[in-house]
Amino acid sequence: MKWLVFLCCLWIVGCSSTNRPQEPTKILLISLDTVRQDRFGFSGAEVSQTPELDELATGASVYLNAFAPVPTTLASHTSMLTGLYPYEHGIRENGRVLNAAVPMIQEQLEGRAVAVVSGYPLASQFGLSRGFAAYLQPEGSERPANATVDLALEHLANSDFLWCHFYDPHAPHLQHPDFNRDLAYDSEIAFVDHHVSRLIKACKQHWGDSPHAIIVVGDHGEGLGDLGEQGHGILLGNATLHVPLLVWTSWEPGSRYERPVSIRRVADMIRDLSKGSFDGAKYTEDIVIAESMQPYLQFGWAPLMAAISQQEKMVRGKSFRLVMGRDEAPNSAPNGHPLRSKLENIPFEPARVQSELTLADIETLASLGYTANDAISPIGLEDRPDPYDQVPLIGQLDRASHLFANHHYAEALSEFESLAEQDPGNPSVLMRMAVCTSMLGHETLADERFHQAAALLPDSNDLRLYYGLHCARFSRWTQAIELLQGFRSREVALLALERAYDATGQSDQALIVAQQLASSQKTAQAATRWADMAERLGDQAQKAEALEMAWQWDPSGFDRHLDLGMVLMDQGRLNDAAGMLQQVPETDPFYAIACYRRAQIAAIRHEADLSIWLDRALQLASPNLRQTIENDPLLKQ
């Protein structure tokens, strides 16, 4: 009998070992932005918007209580790729840059990692691209799911780890005709479900018998009015924290798990899957953590942190509140409660990370509903408003930020002035109110408002930048230079500095800035400004370099062929000069000069078509130019 038991054990071990892959696993990570758990049938939705993913889930491990560590895109994805909570990796909101010393899972994998991200908050400058052989981001603020899948399929053959991020369910929400729903939000999710299924089927077909795994996860949810929050990022309700999560593998069926799991464990799942191992239960925990530092960092309110178990949630803000049930009604939070004890042992002060955003970054994030303050006075909860008490202001803040980002300064100012009356300690409101006032031409009032904001943001680089631009706007050049000269990595500051140096007679500095702008912007317009500045200073070498850049960056729109051709002639670059002069159109008012200069080159090089260029120049020349041509010794030979 003992031998029989022993043989049975050997048989069981042998079977389980043969199920495990004997070669590296291909992995597809699908992250869905801004998706609530209650829209997915496999997560328990009464009305499912995701029939395709529901089908995948029938053979997958499904986590019924998966929670985002933070209800914002960048911070949540950073947790997924590092395995760390935000208070550990330092990214507490959008618009921050991950420290290069923080390791990410894609750096630890064998094979080629490719990312196709679809929303601006995950742009490469924020630090998640490290370790990916290709990091494909949208040119604008977002890319639709159909285009994201098409792009991913182009790179599938060269990917061992493929991460695809879908941004469609993020506001603003669109109604898709083929997926018409009562809510445009639901239409977006159904649209994504359809196109994600194309990607999943293609991956399964391409990888065939090779071991492969698919992870589908939401980064955070959307309020849709729950607890009074329409969007996300402020409160720690289930609507914005409870997300879908499933893991499908090609070698074994899955299970259902009700114990909580933090989606930061996605990094551990990827690591294990890459080695052909997956134990679904090991990633669950008794208590998981979530936070929202955005109320503090953006608005000067109290920050929030939550500890979540299978039955309860404790939220720490100005005080502790225990919430249970679907309505999340607050209850008393007794001392010694295990969730409270957990929260009391976690660092509550947010990292003070200075922003490296350009003004364009700030405006793009604001257009998506995000603002970012780079510095705020040290934390202290006593006098800070509780975010749950400020819920009536959230919609107005979103509205004002959207108007501000789209340069509707008069309408935005009206909203910000109203908000300042209701929330006078809000640094974001005061700073943007000052900027709007400046943009509308009210210099003195804007000065007063910038000083008010500085009292709340004494170390803010963003405020210093905005105030420097305000000074430049009103020709206070010396003050503008003092404020802006530390911002040479930001194009908007360089533009103002160029004008300021030029206006104060510091032409050499203006030329340096003009060159920096051209190198940064890589536009013909910027290169042309550099060329004009060089010409005024008599620097022909820089003028030639600048005009050549302008031509290379926009050959079809370039209209300085004559100017560049003449500079190249002076440098002795006759071949380049001839080619440039021949591109001067006949409609150009200075076409006769171009023909004359081209004739000079023909004479120097003894070209057969000298007479053609010379006759054309003489035919079109003004009397003064004709006399110059006729007296040119080079053409008399």
Which tokens hold the place of 116?
């196709």
Q: 414 with 407: CB under 8 angstroms?
A: no
Rounded CA-CA distance 486/71 in Å is 33
Is residue 2's pLDDT more than 60? Answer: no
- Domain 20-292 classification at class level: alpha beta
Residue 336 is predicted with a pLDDT of 87
Is residue 379's pLDDT more than 70? Answer: no
Range picked from 66-70, 481-485, 554-558, 586-590 for highest mean pLDDT = 66-70
**Interval 71-101: pLDDT, tens:** 999 999 999 999 999 999 999 988 889 999 9
Fold of 559-636: 1.25.40
pLDDT category, 9, cuts 50, 70, 90?
A: very low
Q: How many CA atoms lie within 13 A of 332 on its CB side?
A: 3
pTM of this structure: 0.78
Q: Answer with the residue of higher pLDDT: 539 or 260.
A: 260
Residue 172 carries which DSSP code? S
For residues 376-404, one letter each, b for 16 or more C-beta atoms within 10 angstroms of the residue's C-beta and e for the rest, the string is: beeeeeeebbbbbebbebbebbbebbbbb
Is residue 542's pLDDT more than 80? Answer: yes
Mean pLDDT of 282-310: 94
Residue 5 is predicted with a pLDDT of 36
Domain 359-474 of CATH type 3.30.360.10: no
Task: Quote the mean pLDDT of the chain.
Answer: 89
Q: How much of the chain, in percent, has pLDDT values that exceed 90?
A: 69
pLDDT category, 620, cuts 50, 70, 90?
A: very high
Residue 569 is predicted with a pLDDT of 92
Residue 353 is predicted with a pLDDT of 46
Which residue ranges make up each domain of the chain? 20-292, 313-344, 359-474, 559-636
**20-292 and 359-474 share one fold:** no
CA torsion 384-76-263-169 (nearest 10°) is 110
Residue 373 is predicted with a pLDDT of 53
Phi, psi of 164 (to 5 degrees): -120, 125
**Interval 560-570: pLDDT, tens:** 999 999 999 99
Rounded CA-CA distance 424/499 in Å is 35
pLDDT category, 187, cuts 50, 70, 90?
A: very high
Question: Minimal CA–CA distance to 40: which of 178, 214, 169, 200?
Answer: 169
Mean pLDDT of 421-425: 94
